[in-house]
Amino acid sequence: MQLFIEQKLLHFKQASGTSRGILHDKPSWILRLYLPNGNTAQGECSVIPGLSPEFVNMEQYEQVLFTLKKSFESNWHSEAFEKEDVLQSEKWIHFIQEFQAYPSIVFGMETLLRDVFGGGTGFLFDSAFARKEKSIPINGLIWMGDESFMLAQMEEKLAEGYTTIKMKVGAIEWEKERALLEQLRKRYSRNDLTLRVDANGAFTPKSAPSILQQLFYLDVHSIEQPIQAGQAIEMKELCEKSPIGIALDEELIGTHSLHEKRLLLESIMPQYIVLKPSLHGGFAGCREWIEVAESYKMDWWMTSALESSIGLNAIAQFTALYDNPLPQGLGTGSLYTNNFESSLVVEKGHLRKVK
């Protein structure tokens, strides 16, 4: 079977501020297999430069994809796809082990193979969501920027009917960001609007406790990654003493084995974890994270990592399998000027499949 790989540079409709600078575009690679029924099965390998640990530069990453193509075309044959348990096979387990340091590629291949079994229809996981019978609650995301830009986004999300807002912080002075949160809270009580913040490691172990206290006074639900990853002792202390929930995000990147996942969560004991298949081991890796988190009675939510509509469709269908009542971070489908056609729509703070 011949594996086709297309590089796709996704262009943001407007520059998007993150803790890693301003993003104008983002690369993805689309995996394709042309099926006998005339359909095309697809998967997406999505990276965020500066965050995805497997991505050094375009040349290096495409060399890994070339290795993937050779390995796939040499070892995977059409008869393998006649068995729906291929993703449980020794061949797949070996693939996971070979590419475990490349979670974006594992995610892309998992999506591709599931689409093969679905006949290239984009139906990857059977659920009420995939059957268009149920929607997924999602949060409205407020990107980093100056005060007027962030305020405009807030007004837009509220008008669209979101009841959970997540604001990225760390781009401007904290006092100004806090003032924006205060404006929201004055207008809407915690019963009407849930507030989350995503710090992406913007604060220090010294400054974080005071900020967490201020967020508590504003009835903020939780904060993602208040300090930079790799400070387990400091993060554990914050989780023990914080008056609001702390969610680990970047902290999970690069942890591959089930044993390592248990050690990490046991050593820090966060209230939540945030999962991104492109960063946290694909669907297989996220299943393990969920299993470990739930064994410690930790809640979780899923977040897309700026994938195109191909990857977002896959993540949404996977998320729906768990019927998690918490709002998920899956509202990134309309970010790009050159996205692929989507089977998903957002209505009043909910993601729904329409095709």
Supply the CATH number for residue 277's domain: 3.20.20.120
For residues 260 and 334, state if they share a domain. Answer: yes
As a whole number of angstroms, the distance between CA 32 and CA 3 comes to 6
CA distance 251 to 315: 20
Instruction: Note if 355 is an active site residue.
Output: no
> Do 344 and 274 sit in the same domain of this protein?
yes
The pLDDT score that the predictor gives to residue 173 is: 87
Quick check: 81 pLDDT over 70?
A: no
Do 300 and 155 share a structural domain? yes
> Dihedrals φ, ψ of 58, to 5°?
-60, -45
pLDDT tops 60 at residue 83: no
In this structure, are residues 324 and 300 in contact, taking their beta carbons and an 8 Å threshold? yes
239 within domain boundaries: yes
When pLDDT is averaged across residues 116-121 and rounded to a whole number, the result is 91
- Burial label for 231, CB within 10 Å (0-12, 13-18, 19+), is middle
pLDDT at 254 over 70: yes
Segment 276-288 shows an average pLDDT of 95
In one-letter notation, the amino acid at residue 213 is Q
Residues 255-279, mean pLDDT to the nearest whole number: 97
Decide if 273 is inside a domain. yes
Asked if 168 and 180 count as a contact pair (C-beta separation under 8 A), the reply is no
Sheet holding 136-137, edge to edge: 136-137, 350-353, 344-347
Give residue 86's pLDDT.
Answer: 67
Considering the entire predicted model, what is its pTM?
0.94
278 and 251 fall within a common domain: yes
Please determine, for residue 27, whether its predicted confidence score (pLDDT) is greater than 90. Answer: yes
Domain range for 90 is: 4-117
Minimal CA–CA distance to 316: which of 130, 179, 132, 188? 130
Residue 94 clears pLDDT 80, i.e. is over it: no
For position 97, which CATH number holds?
Answer: 3.30.390.10
Q: Residue 138 has which token pair? A: 């999602």
Residues 230 and 338 in one domain: yes
Q: Do residues 99 and 159 share a domain?
A: no
Domain assignment present for residue 122? The answer is: no
pLDDT at position 236: 98
Q: Report the mean per-residue pLDDT for the chain.
A: 91
User: If DSSP states are collapsed to H, E and C, what string results for the chain?
Assistant: CCCEEEEEEEEEEEEEEECCEEEEEEEEEEEEEECCCCCEEEEEEECCCCCCCCCCCHHHHHHHHHHHHHHHHHHCCHHHHHCCCHHHCHHHHHHHHHCCCCHHHHHHHHHHHHHHHCCCCCCCCCCCCCCCCCCEEECEEECECCHHHHHHHHHHHHHCCCCEEEEECCCCCHHHHHHHHHHHHHHCCCCCCEEEEECCCEECCCCHHHHHHHHHHCCEEEEECCECCCCHHHHHHHHHHCCCEEEECHHHCCCCCHHHHHHHHHHHCCCEEEECCCCCCHHHHHHHHHHHHHHCCCEEEEECCCCCHHHHHHHHHHHHCCCCCCCEECCCCCCECCCCCCCEEEECCEEEECC
The last residue of a domain, from among 69, 84, 117? 117
Q: Tell whether 125 is covered by a domain.
A: no
In angstroms and rounded to an integer, the radius of gyration of the C-alpha atoms of the chain is 20
Active-site residue, selected from the candidate residues 276, 297, 353, 355: 276
For the segment 41-59, the average pLDDT, to the nearest whole number, is 94
At 209, the pLDDT band (50, 70, 90 cuts) reads: very high
Q: Name the β-bridge partners of 22.
A: 17
What's the mean pLDDT in 64-87?
Answer: 76
Answer yes or no: do 346 and 276 share one domain.
Answer: yes
**Catalytic: which of 168, 186, 297, 348?**
168
Active site residue 132: no
Do residues 197 and 220 make contact, with C-beta atoms less than 8 angstroms apart? Answer: yes
Q: Are residues 142 and 238 in the same domain?
A: yes
Q: What does the block give as tokens for 278? A: 């492109």
pLDDT of residue 11: 94
Of the chain, the percentage scoring pLDDT greater than 70 comes to 94
Structure-block tokens of residue 93:
């387990």
Asked if pLDDT for residue 270 goes beyond 90, the answer is yes
Mean pLDDT of 40-48: 96
Residue given tokens 């089977």 in the structure block: 343
Contact 310, 107 (CB under 8 A): no
How does pLDDT run across 290-303, given as a tens digit for each residue?
A: 999 999 999 999 99
User: Over 70: is that where the pLDDT of 339 sits?
Assistant: yes
Q: Note the pLDDT tens digit of each residue in 211-238.
A: 999 999 999 999 999 999 999 999 999 9
Band the pLDDT of 88: cuts 50, 70, 90. low
* Number of structural domains the chain divides into: 2
Residues 89 and 198 grouped into a single domain = no
Q: Are residues 95 and 148 in the same domain?
A: no
Boundary (domain end) residue, out of 89, 117, 145: 117
pLDDT at 9 (0 to 100): 96
Q: How far apart are CA 234 and CA 268, in angstroms?
A: 9
pLDDT of residue 53: 92
Q: Does 1 have pLDDT greater than 90?
A: no
What pLDDT does 148 receive?
Answer: 86
pLDDT digits (tens, 9 = 90+) for 120-178: 999 999 999 999 999 999 999 988 777 888 888 888 999 999 999 999 888 788 999 99
The verdict on residue 123 lying in a domain is no
